[in-house]
Amino acid sequence: MFKWSEERGLKSVDTNDLKEPAVILLDEHKYIFSGVSETQHVTHRIIRVNNDLGVEMFNKMYIPTNDENAITKLRVRCISPNGKIVNFDMSNLKRFDNLEGNGGYTVFAIEGIEIGGEIEYYYKLKLPFYTCNRFNLQSNSNKKSCKLELEIDSDFYFDIGMENLDQDYGLVDSSNSYKEWVFIELDSLPKHSRKDAEVFKKRMNLCFRRFSENGYNYELFDRQKFCRRELGYFSTYRNFEVKKKVYNSDLKKVLKQNLRKGIDQFTNNLHKNFSIKGKGESEKGGSQLTKKQFVAAASFLLKKMRIPHSIYAVGNRYVNSYDSQRNLSYYDVDAFIIHFPDDNLLWDPSCKYCESYYVPYQYLNQELVFVGHFKSLLIYENFTYKYLKYVPTPDCDFSTRLTNINLSFNDDLTAHYSFYQNIQGYYSTNLKSWYRYHNGTGERFEKHIKETLEDFGDSPEVIDFDVSENNKKEIVLKANMEDESIAKKLGDKLMLNIGSIIGIQSEMYDSVKRVNPIIQRYPKKYKYEIRIKIPEGYEYLSSQNVELDDLAKRETKNIFGWNSKYTIEGQEIVIRIEEFYDITRVEVDEIPQYRSVINQAADFNKAVIFFKKK
pLDDT at 277: 86
pLDDT at 325: 47
pLDDT at 382: 47
Burial class (CB in 10 A: 0-12, 13-18, 19+), 263: buried
Mean pLDDT throughout 133-138?
89
Q: What is the pLDDT of residues 319-357, one digit of tens each?
A: 776 554 455 565 667 789 999 988 889 999 999 888 888
Mean pLDDT throughout 95-105?
83
Q: What is the pLDDT of residues 523-548, one digit of tens each?
A: 999 999 999 999 999 999 999 999 99
CA 146 from centroid of its chain's CA atoms: 27
**Residue 578 one-letter amino acid:** E
Secondary structure of 391-457 in the HEC alphabet?
A: CCCCCCCCCEEEEEEEEEECCCCCEEEEEEEEECHHHHHHHHHHHHHCCCCCHHHHHHHHHHHCCCC
pLDDT above 50 for 447 = yes
Q: What is the pLDDT of residues 11-30, one digit of tens each?
A: 988 888 888 999 999 999 99
Q: Is 56 helix (H, G, I), strand (E, B) or coil?
A: helix
Beta bridge partners of 211: 156, 218
Burial class (CB in 10 A: 0-12, 13-18, 19+), 338: buried
Helices and strands in the chain, H and E counts: 9, 35
Query: What is the set of domains in the chain, with CATH numbers?
Result: 17-215 (2.60.40.3140), 223-374 (no CATH), 400-613 (2.60.120.1130)
Q: What percent of the chain has pLDDT over 70?
A: 95
pTM equals 0.80
Range of lowest pLDDT (168-177, 220-229, 473-482): 168-177
Mean pLDDT throughout 95-111?
85
Give how far Cα 96 sits from Cα of 57, 86, 104, 107, Å.
20, 26, 6, 8
Beta strands 170-175 and 156-163: pairing type? unpaired
Q: How far apart are CA 321 and CA 326, in angstroms?
A: 11
Mean pLDDT throughout 201-220?
85
Please, what sign has the CA dihedral across residues 314, 320, 324, 328? negative
Judge whether 421 and 402 are in contact, CB under 8 Å: yes
Output helix, strand, coil percentages for the chain, rounded to the nearest 5.
Answer: 20, 40, 40
Judge whether 57 and 108 are in contact, CB under 8 Å: no
pLDDT at 511: 60
DSSP string across 324-363: TTS---GGG--EEEEEETTTTEEE-TT-TT--TT---GGG
Mean pLDDT throughout 414-426?
96
H or E, element range at 188: strand 179-189
* Residue 11 CB partners (closer than 8 Å, separation 6+): 25, 26, 46, 48, 118
Buried b (16+ CB within 10 A) or exposed e, 117-135: bbbbbbbbbbbeebbbbbe
Q: How far apart are CA 289 and CA 302, in angstroms?
A: 18
Residue in 556, 561, 453, 545 with CA at minimum distance from that of residue 499: 545
Residue in 594, 571, 385 with CA at minimum distance from that of residue 507: 594
Q: How far apart are CA 144 and CA 12, in angstroms?
A: 11
Residue in 405, 567, 412, 427 with CA at minimum distance from that of residue 500: 405
pLDDT above 80 for 130 = yes
| Packed helices 291-304 and 223-236: angle between N→C axes, nearest 10 degrees | 60
How does the average pLDDT of the chain come out, rounded? 89
pLDDT category, 278, cuts 50, 70, 90? confident
pLDDT at 64: 86
Give how far Cα 320 sits from Cα of 45, 201, 330, 338, 358, Å.
26, 9, 11, 20, 21
Mean pLDDT throughout 34-62?
93
Neighbours of 60 (CB within 10 A): 13
pLDDT above 60 for 132 = yes
Please work out, in degrees rounded to the nearest 5, the angle formed at the alpha carbon of residue 383 by the alpha carbons of 378 and 387.
120
Q: How far apart are CA 396 and CA 424, in angstroms?
A: 11
Mean pLDDT throughout 195-217?
84
pLDDT above 80 for 397 = yes
pLDDT at 166: 67
Neighbours of 445 (CB within 10 A): 16
**Residue 174 one-letter amino acid:** S
pLDDT above 80 for 291 = yes
Neighbours of 322 (CB within 10 A): 16
